[in-house]
Amino acid sequence: YRRISVGSRKPGTRIRTYGKRNLVMHCPKCGTENPDDAKSCQSCNRDLTHISSTARRLDANAVASLVLAILSIALLFLLAGIHIILGVLAAVFVCPAVGITALVLGIIALAEIRRSAGRLSGKGLAIAGITIPTVWLSALFLYLGYSLRAKPYAHKVRQKAQFHTIDAALELFNHEFDGYPPSDAVDSVGQPYCGGMKLCEAVMGQDLLGFHPDSVFRADGMDPTGQRDLYLESIDKDNLRARRGPFTPAASANAHKLIDVYGGHNIGPFGDGAFVLCDTYKREHKSGVMVGMPILYYKANAANSAHDVNNPDNPENIYNYKDNHALVGLGVPGQPGRKHPLFADPKIFYEMTRNYEITTQSRPFRADSYILLSAGKDGSYGTEDDIVNFDMRWKPKSRR
């Protein structure tokens, strides 16, 4: 007799070749080679008499798993065809229970087939019994999650994505002009022109045709001498060639005039033509335009070193809440008399932006760059659902 290698055959299987018995078989416990007619393993004494060389048997759990998997879908359509209420009950209770049972039986079947050393078959059935309920249950839970909870989360994801787009635009601006745009509450001649408006001019231009490199961020769009309007309604070719950007696509920028958000009679000290970038939480306003709230922009003053939570007016603060205070002071659109918490209590800004992981001193997040802030779903600045461009840990109920 010649020795025949079993190669990758599973331990515990008897193999016939050309009608003759092989001289060896592997022990299902320790893998040791034994004579084909051995009663027990010569290494670990495992009983080998129960191992048969006959055809493999179909695993019952694998069959049951596939049947229940198919039934879990069939019941849904059957009961929904009878009555819509039965369909809802089936989708929420009956079919998930049947599907989960199919999934569990499929897992059990795979384990049994793996341990059988080739005596049981039905692996494909078990995999199908696992896959079918997994796919449709995942789709069901995703749908229910979207209906109940995921919609607010999806809005937050879209808002974060918009912040990433603005981040990229500001980095392009920083590279082009060796610094981030300013965010002071007024312009170089003392006219109200807040951080959110300067942000829009930097990435889009005052007329959304790109930023003019001669701009000094004046509300009236004039150059440093006050003699030349850089953002004329009638733009010549030389002017357009001088522009930089827009640094972000108009579709993702959500640039709107302030009067679209607050209406023509409630824009405070700001001009009618002032543009801001708005967040993704769009709601219809009196203007008839579907638009979100303005995104607030604060630039860090790297020359300062304080982040005084108790004194918002500390002149050494790295960030200045006043950069957008007049804009926040316009209130909540469509709700006369309602003030934003961020306006009523400026300390909130320093609590929101403080990095509480630093315990040795009070320091803000992004102390060397800038902060973006969205009012979130409720449209109110300084509340729990506000969204920022860092990992904010502060919550109103845990104010310190």
Q: 162-176, pLDDT tens digit by residue?
A: 999 999 999 999 999
Residue 191 dihedral angles phi and psi, to the nearest 5°: -85, 145
Least confident segment among 85-94, 157-166, 241-250, 349-358: 85-94
Please report, for residues 230, 376, 381, the alpha-carbon distance to residue 330 in angstroms, rounded to integers and kept in the order given: 28, 17, 11
What number is the average pLDDT over the span 148-153? 59
Is 252 a residue whose pLDDT tops 60? Answer: yes
8 A C-beta contact, residue 309 and residue 355: no
**CA nearest to 265, candidates 208, 331, 199:** 331
**What are the tens digits of pLDDT across the range 337-389?**
889 999 999 999 999 999 988 889 999 999 999 999 999 988 999 998 899 99
Please give the share of the chain, as a percent, with pLDDT higher than 90.
44
Res 156 pLDDT > 70: yes
What backbone torsions phi and psi does residue 27 show, to the nearest 5 degrees? -70, 130
Which amino acid makes up residue 179? G
pTM of the model: 0.63
- The torsion angles phi and psi of 118, rounded to 5 degrees, stand at 95, -5
Mean pLDDT, residues 4-8: 42
* Cα separation, 159 vs 292, whole angstroms: 11
Return the percentage of the chain with pLDDT > 70, whole number.
Answer: 84
Which of the listed ranges 66-75, 140-149, 207-216, 260-269 does the model predict with the highest average pLDDT?
207-216
Least confident of 11-20, 50-59, 294-303: 11-20
Query: How much is the pLDDT for 152?
Result: 63
The confidence score (pLDDT) of residue 16 equals 42
Burial of 352 (0-12, 13-18, 19+ CB in 10 A): buried
Residue 115: pLDDT band with limits 50, 70, 90: confident
Exposed, middle or buried, 323 (CB in 10 Å: 0-12/13-18/19+)? buried
**pLDDT-wise least confident of 180-194, 313-327, 334-348:** 334-348
Helix spans in the chain (H): 60-82, 84-89, 95-115, 123-145, 151-177, 195-204, 237-242, 250-253, 258-262, 325-328, 341-344, 347-352
CA 209/CA 377 separation, integer angstroms: 30
297 close to 202: Cβ distance less than 8 angstroms: no
The span from the CA of 186 to the CA of 314, in Å, is 18
